[in-house]
Amino acid sequence: MGNLGWETSVSDELYDELILDHFESPYHRGELESPSCTHTERNPLCGDRVQLQLQIDSEQRIQQAFFDGEGCAISQAAASILCEHIEGKTLEEVEEFSAAAMLDLLRVQLTAVRQRCGLLGFKVLKTLVYSHDGAAGGSA
């Protein structure tokens, strides 16, 4: 399936090492000082919230990605994993990044309900990428 990330080794356990590591010590949780763009979404059912901020350079490459928010371990760990994954990628590369590839990155099997948690950050990313006007560096 996904060609943008890890070797996939699906675990039966929902809360496996990778998820818990990112939940415990998230990668780039916080805010950028002057992000190129910022967007937030909520999962209306459980109230999970993920904000994503990107620093995009003149070559349309994501220099830095930061997330913030609150919610279940899956939504927050997935946002952290996402930030780590997309840094250094161009917007064009990110446009091709699929939901299936995002779920593969998590390396656990999610039920339909929990996929909404796992894909919350991804949804924010897609909104950002498609609404980004291409103006690099400055404010959104």
Partner 1 sequence: MATIGDDFPILNRPLADGTPLVYLDSASSAQKPRVVIDSLSECYESYYANAHRGVYQFGVQIDEALEGSRERIARMIGAESPEEVIFTSGTTMSINLVAQAWGRSQLSQGDEILVNEMEHHANLVPWQQLASQTGAVLRHIPLTDDGRLDLEQLSEYLTSRTRLVAVTGMSNVLGTVNPIEKLVDAAREAGALVLVDGAQSVPHAVVDVLNPRVDFLAFSGHKLYGPSGIGVLYGRRELLEAMDPFLCGGNMISEVGLTESSWAELPAKFEAGTLPVAQAIALGTAVDYVQGIGFDEIGRIEGALLSEAQQRLTEIPDLVVHGPSIEHKGAIVSFSDERVHPHDMAELLKRKGVAVRAGHHCTMPLHARLGIVASTRASFALYNDSSDIDVLVDGIQYARKTLRRG
Phi, psi of 134 (to 5 degrees): 90, -10
- Among 43-51, 57-65, 87-95, 101-109, which window interacts with partner 1 (CB under 8 A)? 43-51
In angstroms, the CA 93 to CA 20 distance is 27
Report the residue number, 55 or 75, with the smaller CB distance to partner 1: 75
Binder among 1, 8, 10, 20 for partner 1 (CB under 8 A): 20
Binding of partner 1 by 32 (CB under 8 A): no
Binding of partner 1 by 6 (CB under 8 A): no
Question: Interaction with partner 1 in 95-114: which residues (CB under 8 A)?
Answer: 114
Binding of partner 1 by 47 (CB under 8 A): yes
Binder among 14, 99, 136, 140 for partner 1 (CB under 8 A): 14
SS (H, E, C) 53-115: EEEECCCCEEEEEEEEEECCHHHHHHHHHHHHHHCCCEHHHHHHCCHHHHHHHHCECCCHHHH
Binder among 73, 99, 136, 140 for partner 1 (CB under 8 A): 73
Give the gyration radius of the chain's Cα atoms. 14
Give me 125's structure tokens: 């990313």
End-to-end CA separation in angstroms for the chain: 33
- Tokens 């590839």 locate to 101
Report the residue number, 94 or 117, with the smaller CB distance to partner 1: 117
Report the residue number, 46 or 99, with the smaller CB distance to partner 1: 46
Question: Which residues of this chain interact with partner 1, rule CB under 8 A?
Answer: 14-15, 20, 23-24, 45-49, 70-75, 114, 117
